[in-house]
Amino acid sequence: MNRQIVLRQRPRGAIDESTTELVVRAEPTCGPDEALIKVAMLSIDPTIRTWMNDAPGYLPPIEIGAPVRSTGAGVVVASNSTRYQVGDVVVGMTNWQEWVIANEEHRFSVIPRDIGLDLATVLNVLGVTGLTAYFGLLDVGRFQAGDVVVVSAAAGATGSAVGQIARARGAARVIGVAGGPRKCDEAVSWYGFDSCLDHREPDLEGRLRAASPNGVDLYFDNVGGAVLDAALASIAMHGRVVLCGAISQYNESGRPRGVANTPMLIMRRASMSGFIVLDFAARFGEAQAVLVAMVRDGTLRHREHLINGLERAPEALNLLFAGANHGKTLVVVDEGIALA
């Protein structure tokens, strides 16, 4: 059988018990040119929440009754496809379920067995998280050595990778913004940020200005809202704002608090660009080679927050919005599947 967590109704605000339901369906069978994948682990990302809305997005809304869309990893247990061999560990759109079919339209990437990383690390650093950090900082943000870089959600999976890549590439200063003293401490002592500001304390705008007296050359935004506004107030001449995510807004059911400091983009001839990492798919290999090397030589630290059981995926997603996760949030669907 195939246990799935499907979208029952579109949430307003945070998801709750009425949003999804666990259903049991027949295990899919492997047709011509297809492979059957047993799902091992799910990547829990804030963007999943946006796919639950009936609103224009970069992918269609998840249909009511369909399993919640999600990337994940698994192992090939049967294959009629030349792309996949039984035993291959693969990464792709598994969705929130125990079994998934790979075919020509729905492809997965095969992870080399000798990669020397465990599955959780692969889903974190080589998955959308690490790739988002890499392309967002270097391509969208046009990072240059000597930049003063500010990163929000600095102790989070994406933010911590952004900060470390910036440092490794010669940033003048890497300043984090995070929620609460524990995360700020971790950003500095574990991930090597030069400093980290707690956005829950008053006057973030003033503290950010003091921390970057010559302005912020590159702000990597994972949160939107008030933190984005504070960063805009300190943007440097020709500064760049990379909009990666807006987790502070995804659960808003009304009109969110807007960003008031957009005129600073005029004063400072600055720009603000959004992106979706899927647009860089043709270059994932290039990025993954760099990221694996950084993990191996210790310049890219990472941390995963594992939650056991498919049925806990909705709870895992809500952890992100509460800021209660500690590292990349992953749901273990089948703990018997391993890479290394």
**Interacting residue ranges for a copy of itself, rule: CB under 8 A:** 56-58, 224, 228-229, 243-246, 249, 255-260, 262-276, 279
**Closer residue to a copy of itself, CB minimum distance, 35 or 235:** 235
Q: Are 14 and 318 within 8 A, CB to CB?
A: yes
H or E stretch at 101: strand 99-102
Q: How far apart are CA 194 and CA 199, in angstroms?
A: 16
Minimum distance between the CB of residue 284 and a copy of itself, rounded to whole angstroms?
A: 17
Residues 6+ apart with CB under 8 A from 153: 159, 177, 178, 222, 223, 245, 247
Q: Can you read off the two tokens belonging to residue 332?
A: 């273990």
**Closer residue to a copy of itself, CB minimum distance, 77 or 226:** 226
Minimum distance between the CB of residue 75 and a copy of itself, rounded to whole angstroms?
A: 33
**Closer residue to a copy of itself, CB minimum distance, 24 or 278:** 278
Minimum distance between the CB of residue 51 and a copy of itself, rounded to whole angstroms?
A: 11
> What torsion, rounded to 10 degrees, do the Cα atoms 306, 312, 313, 316 define?
-60
Q: How far apart are CA 52 and CA 70, in angstroms?
A: 11
Q: Are 292 and 135 within 8 A, CB to CB?
A: no
Q: How far apart are CA 89 and CA 104, in angstroms?
A: 17
**Closer residue to a copy of itself, CB minimum distance, 51 or 108:** 51
**Closer residue to a copy of itself, CB minimum distance, 157 or 339:** 157
Minimum distance between the CB of residue 235 and a copy of itself, rounded to whole angstroms?
A: 9
Minimum distance between the CB of residue 93 and a copy of itself, rounded to whole angstroms?
A: 18
Sort 272 into a burial class: Cβ within 10 Å, 0-12 / 13-18 / 19+: middle
Minimum distance between the CB of residue 274 and a copy of itself, rounded to whole angstroms?
A: 3
Q: 340: how many CB neighbours lie within 10 A of its CB?
A: 12
**Closer residue to a copy of itself, CB minimum distance, 2 or 249:** 249
Q: How far apart are CA 163 and CA 171, in angstroms?
A: 9
**Closer residue to a copy of itself, CB minimum distance, 246 or 291:** 246
Minimum distance between the CB of residue 150 and a copy of itself, rounded to whole angstroms?
A: 16
